Structure 1
Amino acid sequence: MLEQKQIRIQDLEISEKDIYLAMGYQGNVPDSYVCELIAETYSEIVPLCLPRYMYRIQEARQISRQKMEIEGTEFTTGGIIGSYLQGMTQVCLFVATAGKEYDAYLHTLKAQDNIIKEYIADSIGSVIAEACGISLAKELETVSKLFHTLPYSPGYCGWNIREQQKLFSFFPPEPCGITLSDSFLMSPVKSISGFIGLGRELRPQPYRCEICNNKQCYKRKENKI
Structure 2
Amino acid sequence: MRYTRYEYKKSGKVKFLCSIAIITGISIGGGLYISNFIFDGKYIKDNNMDNPSYSNERNHQGEVQKIVALQCGYYAKEENAKELSNSISKYCNPFVVEEDGKYRVLAGIYKEEDGLKKLEEFKANNIDVAKINLNISSNNEENKKIIEIIDGFLTITNKLHEASVKSIKTSEFKEWADKIINDGSSAKSKKIDNLNSYVKNLPDEIDKANSNANIQDLYKLIKA
How does the TM-score come out when normalised to structure 2? 0.24
More helix by share: 2
Of structures 1 and 2, the one scoring higher in RCO (CA 8 A, sep 6+) is: 1
Greater Cα radius of gyration, structure 1 or 2: 2
How does the TM-score come out when normalised to structure 1? 0.24
